[in-house]
């Protein structure tokens, strides 16, 4: 079932949580809402769920207007950050709850419930915990059960609010791969909220990057990471170097060097910011054409990549660079030595007046 | 055409002097700047800003600095920005510069700053009024939703679990008996003592039985039970629902298609409202026993005389009036307990606030309701 949000606005007091958000989630996809805290991602999820009602704008499920439907009528499954399991019920009862309390005509019989709950607990790989109380379980187990509970009512849409936010890093990584596999198995249209860019890029089919109640970019992980639409997305997804520069007639001037920027052909002598990822910083010991001179300030050689911090000689900006281990050994750089820098794949945004 | 004008601001060690030349104001922090010795106020700078276009720093005589200098410079930058004056930071120590750059790079977290307490009176009044209006509105909305839930209940469309209802009946009924026994027994004893001191002067000790019987049935039985239940059950309701709100269990119910009003609030309100008259009836009886103990044990009234006097004093009307009051109190306590729980904030401390506020509002409203009912019963001659 597809989800469509049109021009949603929601405020809390003076705070504008959502500011004209329009979004379309295609059927069967796993979409991540990514953004810093206060960017409106959880509010958007709650509006989709029907737990929060927008001041203006509309929600469509499968092309039908669902704006005024209550959470019950929307047939969604919702997984909360802090699990929100019913504390006084066993794991089995928690999962069975949604089925047990259906009106009598729609309620499955006890045998069907047992079978269904058993299958769901197997699906989330915690069937051996059926008789435990939530307080006896670890965070990861609780979150799996919360997911099973959400799936028990056969939702057409699965919504997850920072599902792994309260878990430690290892469990998180394991669970998010598992969520991806689970989604490939059941193919329910799913939306999950996260502030962890790695999580969003690794798990989701598409990523919605949000900031201050607006959508900055909506695209595949590759699109948002490699072709960020706005400076914010650049900053938010991974490390980035900033070069203060000037753009004139399709060329960027950074210090002494000059690089083509065909998208700004019509611009005349305007201040701009050029964004370059650390792995797009090319280093060399000898000057080869126009390059920026810098001094190595710090070298961190942990993992497969070597991170360097460089001080620009012609200004007080710091450049961060990532080299492969091979290239690092080849260059054999030490702190205090001079290097020459050439940025590639840079993206230029004009400075707003 | 420099005209030096050294001004001592912070007395102990860190000092600040000024030098104006053309349209530039040079600030010279010197000595040791530390938080302990205080941060110079900006008023002096503000006073000198007339005709100044640029602020620069000269830190050649600065010996050491800590966050006091940072705070000062940050405030100064704000002030300068507001007045349209440029700040040239190149004269600052590089450490200060870097820290300030860092502070400006990361946006300030909302809500982290303590709210300004100094507000003009009129703003206080306005804020309080808006808050009251909002609170009244949410209370009325809750009342409306509760009425709708009762509508569904009586037409058998409400979805709740009978097991929950029985649990609350037990919680608000049988389990409250010990404490109700204690308090109402003591109420009877106290009434009896208060009466005895006065009535003995007229040789009318026997009327202690009337006083206790009427006092308990009309007023004290219901009111004391209400106070106990507000502290015990009303607070528990607020805490339970508040915790469920904080752990998002209430949202989970909604997301699974449950009306929390039907599922969580309705059984609680019904259980408490139904149990209150029963508890009150019991409290009346225990209170009269307490009164009798004093009357018979200390005032030399014979048990038979006390019994006869008591039966003469009580009328069905009094008992019914007391029971009616208890019904009202029960509804009030359950209402405020659930209201405060359901409208609880989203932090752990909010649960505590909700609980306190549930007890306070339900007792206050119960007493107010009692006042109204006292006037009504006087007017109606009951």
* Cross-chain CB nearest to A38 (options B110, B256, B257): B110
Q: How far apart are CA A324 and CA A282, in angstroms?
A: 11
CB-based contact B255 A38, cutoff 8 Å: no
Nearest chain B residue to A72 by CA: give it.
B257
**pLDDT above 70 (res A82):** yes
**Residues in A lying within 8 Å of B, measured between beta carbons:** 38, 49-51, 70-73, 75-78, 80-87, 97-98, 101, 103, 149-150, 153, 159
With beta carbons under 8 A apart, name residues in chain B contacting A76: 255
With beta carbons under 8 A apart, name residues in chain A contacting B99: none
* Cross-chain CB nearest to B248 (options A71, A72, A82): A82
pLDDT at B2: 46
**pLDDT above 80 (res A101):** no
Q: How far apart are CA B1 and CA A333, in angstroms?
A: 52
Is any Cβ of chain A less than 8 angstroms from the Cβ of B249?
Answer: yes
Kindly give the confidence (pLDDT) of every residue in chain B, 382 residues in length, as a single tens digit, with 9 standing for 90 and above. 444 444 444 445 677 888 877 778 888 888 888 877 777 777 777 777 777 778 888 888 888 888 888 888 888 888 887 777 778 877 788 788 878 777 776 666 555 555 556 778 899 899 999 999 999 999 999 999 999 999 999 998 888 888 889 999 999 999 999 999 999 999 999 999 999 989 988 888 899 999 999 999 999 999 999 999 999 999 999 999 999 998 888 988 888 878 889 989 999 999 999 999 999 999 999 999 999 999 999 888 999 999 999 999 999 999 999 999 999 999 999 999 999 999 998 888 899 999 999 999 999 999 999 999 999 999 998 8
Residues facing B63 on adjacent strands: none
What is the rounded end-to-end Cα distance, in angstroms, of chain B? 95
Whole-number Cα distances in Å, B321 to A266, B122, B270, B379: 87, 45, 20, 14
Q: How far apart are CA B247 and CA B256, in angstroms?
A: 15
Q: Which of A213, A236, A241 is nearest to A225 (CA)?
A: A236
Q: Do A71 and A51 touch, CB atoms closer than 8 A?
A: yes
What are the tokens at A248? Answer: 């004139």
Q: What are phi and psi of B238, to 5 degrees?
A: -60, -45
Q: Which residue of B99, B163, B257 is the best one to mutate when testing the A interface, meaning the one whose CB has the most A CBs within 10 A? A: B257
pLDDT at B237: 96
Is any Cβ of chain A less than 8 angstroms from the Cβ of B143?
Answer: no
Q: Which of B221, B225, B195 is nearest to B210 (CA)?
A: B195
Q: Do A59 and A47 touch, CB atoms closer than 8 A?
A: yes
Q: How far apart are CA A257 and CA B45, in angstroms?
A: 42
Q: Do B25 and B48 touch, CB atoms closer than 8 A?
A: yes
Domains of chain B with CATH codes: 7-105 (3.30.750.24), 132-379 (no CATH)
Q: Do B74 and B49 touch, CB atoms closer than 8 A?
A: no
* Cross-chain CB nearest to A51 (options B110, B159, B255): B255
CB-based contact A97 B249, cutoff 8 Å: no
- Whole-complex ipTM: 0.74
Nearest chain B residue to A82 by CA: give it.
B247
pLDDT at A163: 86
Summarised one tens digit per residue, pLDDT across range A283-302 is 888 887 778 888 898 888 88
pTM reported for the whole predicted model? 0.71
User: Quick one: average pLDDT of A121-149?
Assistant: 88
Q: Which residue of B242, B255, B348 is the best one to mutate when testing the A interface, meaning the one whose CB has the most A CBs within 10 A? A: B255
Is any Cβ of chain A less than 8 angstroms from the Cβ of B255?
Answer: yes
CB-based contact A82 B252, cutoff 8 Å: no
Summarised one tens digit per residue, pLDDT across range A198-227 is 889 989 999 999 999 999 999 999 999 888
Residue identified by tokens 């990822």 is A277
With beta carbons under 8 A apart, name residues in chain A contacting B254: 50-51, 71-72
Q: Do B39 and B72 touch, CB atoms closer than 8 A?
A: yes
pLDDT at B13: 63
Nearest chain A residue to B158 by CA: give it.
A103
Give alpha helix (H) positions in chain B.
Answer: 43-48, 67-83, 94-105, 121-154, 162-172, 177-199, 208-214, 221-229, 235-246, 249-255, 260, 266-298, 303-313, 316-342, 348-379
Strands A338-343 and A281-284: what pairing? antiparallel
Residue identified by tokens 């009306």 is B259
CB-based contact A80 B256, cutoff 8 Å: no
Sequence-separated (6 or more) residues with CB below 8 Å from residue B210: B309, B310, B312, B313
With beta carbons under 8 A apart, name residues in chain A contacting B259: 72
With beta carbons under 8 A apart, name residues in chain B contacting A49: 255
Closest approach of A248 to chain B, Cα-based (Å): 27
Nearest chain A residue to B94 by CA: give it.
A316
CB-based contact B256 A153, cutoff 8 Å: yes
Is any Cβ of chain A less than 8 angstroms from the Cβ of B256?
Answer: yes
Q: Which of B329, B380, B336 is nearest to B358 (CA)?
A: B336
With beta carbons under 8 A apart, name residues in chain A contacting B251: 51, 78, 80, 84
């Amino acid at each position: 079932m597809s989800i469509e949000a049109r021009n949603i606005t929601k405020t809390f007091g003076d705070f504008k949580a959502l500011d004209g958000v329009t979004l379309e989630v295609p059927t069967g996809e796993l979409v991540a809402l990514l953004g810093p805290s206060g960017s409106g991602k959880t509010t958007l999820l709650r509006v989709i769920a029907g737990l929060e009602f927008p001041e203006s704008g509309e929600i469509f499920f499968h092309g039908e207007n669902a704006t005024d439907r209550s959470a019950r009528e929307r047939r969604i499954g919702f997984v909360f950050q802090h699990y929100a399991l019913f504390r006084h019920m066993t794991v089995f009862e928690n999962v069975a709850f949604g089925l047990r309390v259906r009106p009598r005509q729609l309620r499955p019989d006890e045998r069907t419930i047992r079978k269904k709950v058993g299958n769901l607990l197997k699906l989330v790989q915690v069937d051996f915990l059926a008789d435990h109380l939530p307080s006896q379980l670890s965070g990861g187990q609780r979150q799996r059960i919360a997911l099973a509970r959400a799936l028990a009512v056969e939702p057409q849409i699965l919504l997850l609010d920072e599902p792994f936010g309260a878990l430690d890093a290892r469990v998180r990584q394991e669970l998010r791969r598992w969520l991806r596999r689970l989604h490939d198995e059941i193919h329910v249209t799913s939306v999950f909220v996260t502030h962890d860019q790695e999580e969003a890029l690794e798990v989701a089919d598409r990523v919605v990057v949000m900031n201050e109640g607006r959508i900055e970019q909506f695209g595949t992980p590759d699109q948002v990471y490699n072709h960020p639409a706005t400076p914010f997305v650049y900053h938010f997804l991974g490390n980035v170097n900033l070069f203060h520069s000037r753009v004139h007639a399709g060329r960027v001037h950074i210090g002494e060097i000059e690089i083509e920027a065909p998208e700004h052909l019509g611009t005349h002598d305007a201040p701009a910011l050029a964004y370059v990822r650390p792995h797009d910083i090319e280093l060399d010991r000898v000057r080869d054409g126009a390059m920026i001179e810098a001094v190595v300030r710090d070298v961190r050689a942990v993992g497969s990549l070597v991170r360097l911090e460089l001080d620009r000689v012609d200004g007080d900006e710091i450049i961060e660079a990532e080299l492969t281990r091979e290239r690092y050994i080849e260059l054999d750089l030490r702190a205090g030595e001079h290097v020459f820098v050439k940025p590639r794949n840079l993206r230029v945004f004009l400075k707003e007046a | 055409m420099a005209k030096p004008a050294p001004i001592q601001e912070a007395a102990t060690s860190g000092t600040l002097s000024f030098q104006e030349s053309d349209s530039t104001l040079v600030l010279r922090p010197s000595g040791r700047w530390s938080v302990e010795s205080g941060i110079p106020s900006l008023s002096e700078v503000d006073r000198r800003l007339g005709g100044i276009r640029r602020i620069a720093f000269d830190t050649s005589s600065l010996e050491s600095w800590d966050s006091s200098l940072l705070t000062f410079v940050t405030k100064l930058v704000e002030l300068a920005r507001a007045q349209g004056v440029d700040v040239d930071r190149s004269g600052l120590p590089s450490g200060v510069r870097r820290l300030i750059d860092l502070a400006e790079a990361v946006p300030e977290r909302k809500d982290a700053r303590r709210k300004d307490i100094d507000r003009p009176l009129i703003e206080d009044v306005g804020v309080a009024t808006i808050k009251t209006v909002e609170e009244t509105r949410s209370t009325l909305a809750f009342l409306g939703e509760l009425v709708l839930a009762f509508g569904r209940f009586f037409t058998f469309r409400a979805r709740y679990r009978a097991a929950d209802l029985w649990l609350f009946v037990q919680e608000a009924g049988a389990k409250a008996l010990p404490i109700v026994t204690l308090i109402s027994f003591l109420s009877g004893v106290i009434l009896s003592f208060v009466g005895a001191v006065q009535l003995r002067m007229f040789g009318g000790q026997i009327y202690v039985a009337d006083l206790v019987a009427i006092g308990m049935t009309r007023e004290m039985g219901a009111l004391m039970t209400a106070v106990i239940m507000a502290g015990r059950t009303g607070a528990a309701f607020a805490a339970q629902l508040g915790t469920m709100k904080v752990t998002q269990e209430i949202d989970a119910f909604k997301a699974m298609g449950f009306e929390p009003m039907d599922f969580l609030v309705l059984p609680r309100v019904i259980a408490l409202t139904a149990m209150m008259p029963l508890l009150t009836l019991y409290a009346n009886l225990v209170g009269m026993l307490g009164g009798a103990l004093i009357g018979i044990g200390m005032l030399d009234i014979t048990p038979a005389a006390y019994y006869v006097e008591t039966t003469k004093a009580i009328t069905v009307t009094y008992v019914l009036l007391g029971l009616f009051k208890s019904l009202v109190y029960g509804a009030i306590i359950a209402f405020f307990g659930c209201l405060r729980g359901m409208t609880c904030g989203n932090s752990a401390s909010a649960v505590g606030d909700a609980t306190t506020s549930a007890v306070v509002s339900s007792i206050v409203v119960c007493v107010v309701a009692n006042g109204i009912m006292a006037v009504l019963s006087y007017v109606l001659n009951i």
